[in-house]
C-alpha cells in the first residue's frame, strides 16, 4: 500500500510538468500581452516594462527562470496588480475559496449518501422516485443557473440569507454559495449511492445477514454501506474538479472575494503569471484530491487492494 502511494505521488510529477509547460507556452502564444492597452505606450517605456519583467529575453530563458522560481515556491510577479507577487494574491483569496469548497464537499457527501441509501432501501416508493427525478435536475443544471435562482428566491423574495456585499466572518453570506456548490454534487452522489446500494442489497452476504436475524438498520448501515460507497469514493476526484470549477462561478455570482476571480480576470487581462499561478495551485489541488480518492478506494475495497504491483 505504502509503495503504491509513493509510486502514485511520484507519478504526479510528469502530469504537473505537462501542466506547467503547456500553460506557459500556450498562454504566451496568445495575441496581446499584459501591457497592451487602449493607447499604445511609447516604445521606450514599453521596452523598459518588458525588461523589468524579463519579457525581452528569449522564451526559453523566461521558461527556465519561471521553473527556477517555482522550485523556490515563487510564482513570479503579477503583471497587472503592480507590486504584488502572484503568491500573495492567491494566498489572500484562497482561505475563503477553500472554506466554501470544503464545506460544499462535506455537505454534498453528508446529504447525498444517506439520501441515496434510503432511496435504494425504499426502492419502490414514490417518494424515492420523486427524489431521484429531482436529483436529475441537480445533475443537469450548472452552478451558474442554480446560484442566481437560489439568490433570487432565498436572498430577495424570501430574504433569509444574505446575498452580495460580503462581510468577512458572517456565515449568513456563505450559506447560499455553499448550497449552490453542493447541490449538483449531492445529487450525483445520491444517484451513485442509490445505484450501487441496490446492487449490494441483492448480494449473498446481505441475504446471510438477514437470515441470521439482523435488523434492517444494522444491515443497511453496518454491512451494506461500506461496499456501496466504493463508486462514490471514486467520484471524489471528479467532484473536486467540479467544485473547483463551480467555485469560479459561485464567487462571481455571490460577489465573494475568493481566489477564483484571479483566474478569470487574469485570463481577460493576459496577466500571464497570475493565470499560470492559479492554474498550478488549483491543478495541484485537484490532482492531490484525485490521488487521495484513489488511495481511499484501495482501503475501502479489499478485493482491489492495489498494493501489489
Partner 1 sequence: MKTRISPALWVLGALAVLALAAPFITPWSHDTLDWEHLAAPPQLDASHWFGTDRLGRDLFARGMQALRVSLALGLLATLVSVGIGVAWGATAGYLGGRIDAAMMRFVDIVYALPYVFIVIILSTVFPRGSLAALFIAIGAVGWLTMARIVRGQTLSLRSREFVAAAIAGGARTPAILWRHIFPNVIGAVIAYATLTIPQVILFESFLSFLGLGVQEPYASLGSLINEGAQEMESSPWMLLVPAGLLTLLLIAFNSLGDGLRRRLAPGDD
Q: Which is nearer to partner 1, 230 or 253 (CB)?
A: 253
Q: How far is the CB of 142 from partner 1 (least distance, A)?
A: 6
Considering the complex, state which of residue 16 and residue 214 has its C-beta at the smaller distance from partner 1.
Answer: 16
Question: Is 215 exposed, middle or buried, given 0-12, 13-18 or 19+ CB atoms closer than 10 A?
Answer: exposed
| Cell numbers 502511494: residue | 5
**Closer by beta carbon to partner 1, 175 or else 241:** 241
Q: Which residues bind partner 1 (CB under 8 A)?
A: 14-15, 18-19, 22-23, 26-27, 29-31, 136-137, 140-142, 144-145, 147-149, 151-152, 156, 241, 244-245, 248-249, 252-253, 263-264, 267-268, 270, 275, 279, 282-283, 286-287, 290
Nearer to partner 1, 18 or 51 (CB): 18
Q: What is the 3-state secondary structure (H, E, C) of the chain?
A: CHHHHHHHHHHHHHHHHHHHHHHHHHHHHCCCCCCCCCCCCCHHHHHHHHHHCCCCCCHHHHHHHHHHHHHCCCCCECCCCCCCEHHHHHHHHHHHHHHHHHHHHHHHHHHHHHHHHHHHHCCCCHHHHHHHHHHHHHHHCCHHHHHHHHHHHHHHHCCCCCCCCCCCCCHHHCHHHHHHHHHHHHHHHHHHHHHHHHHHHCCHHHHHHHHCCCCHHHHHHHHHHHHHCHHHHHCHHHHHHHHHHHHHHHHHHCCCCCCHHHHHHHHHHCCHHHHHHHHHHHHHHHHHHHHHHHHHHHHHCHHHCCCCC
Beta carbon nearer to partner 1, 241 or 296: 241
In the complex, minimum distance from the CB of residue 43 to partner 1, in angstroms, rounded to a whole number: 24
Residue closer to partner 1, measured from CB, 186 or 287: 287
CB of 140 vs partner 1, minimal distance in Å: 5
Q: Shortest distance, CB of residue 209 to partner 1, whole angstroms?
A: 27
Q: Which residue has the cell 432565498?
A: 154
Q: How far is the CB of 101 from partner 1 (least distance, A)?
A: 13
Cβ-based nearer residue to partner 1, 186 or 250: 250
CB of 54 to partner 1, least distance (A): 20
Q: To the nearest whole angstrom, how small is the minimum distance from the Cβ of residue 19 to partner 1?
A: 6
Amino acid at each position: 500500500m505504502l509503495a503504491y502511494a509513493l509510486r502514485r505521488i511520484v507519478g504526479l510529477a510528469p502530469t504537473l510538468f505537462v501542466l506547467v509547460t503547456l500553460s506557459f507556452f500556450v498562454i504566451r502564444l496568445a495575441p496581446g500581452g499584459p501591457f497592451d492597452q487602449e493607447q499604445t505606450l511609447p516604445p521606450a517605456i514599453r521596452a523598459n516594462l518588458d525588461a523589468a519583467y524579463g519579457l525581452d529575453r528569449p522564451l526559453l530563458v523566461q521558461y527556465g527562470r519561471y521553473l527556477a522560481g517555482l522550485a523556490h515556491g515563487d510564482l513570479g510577479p503579477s503583471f497587472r496588480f503592480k507590486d504584488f507577487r502572484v503568491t500573495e494574491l492567491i494566498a489572500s483569496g484562497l482561505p475563503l475559496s477553500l472554506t466554501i469548497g470544503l464545506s460544499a464537499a462535506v455537505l454534498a457527501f453528508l446529504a447525498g449518501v444517506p439520501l441515496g441509501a434510503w432511496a435504494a432501501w425504499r426502492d419502490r416508493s414514490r417518494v424515492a422516485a420523486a427524489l431521484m427525478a429531482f436529483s436529475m435536475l441537480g445533475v443537469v443544471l450548472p452552478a451558474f443557473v442554480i446560484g442566481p435562482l437560489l439568490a433570487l428566491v432565498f436572498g430577495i423574495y424570501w430574504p433569509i440569507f444574505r446575498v452580495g456585499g460580503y462581510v468577512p466572518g458572517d456565515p449568513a453570506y456563505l450559506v447560499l454559495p455553499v448550497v449552490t456548490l453542493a447541490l449538483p454534487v449531492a445529487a450525483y452522489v445520491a444517484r451513485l449511492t442509490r445505484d450501487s446500494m441496490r446492487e449490494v442489497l441483492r448480494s449473498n452476504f446481505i441475504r446471510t445477514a438477514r437470515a441470521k436475524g439482523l435488523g434492517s438498520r444494522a444491515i443497511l448501515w453496518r454491512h451494506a454501506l461500506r461496499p456501496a460507497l466504493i463508486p462514490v469514493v471514486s467520484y471524489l476526484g471528479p467532484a473536486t474538479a467540479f467544485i473547483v470549477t463551480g467555485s469560479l462561478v459561485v464567487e462571481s455570482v455571490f460577489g465573494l472575494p475568493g481566489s477564483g476571480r484571479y483566474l478569470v480576470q487574469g485570463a481577460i487581462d493576459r496577466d500571464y503569471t497570475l493565470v499560470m499561478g492559479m492554474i498550478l495551485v488549483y491543478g495541484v489541488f485537484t490532482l492531490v484530491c484525485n490521488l487521495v480518492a484513489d488511495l481511499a478506494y484501495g482501503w475501502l475495497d479489499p478485493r482491489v487492494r492495489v498494493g501489489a504491483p
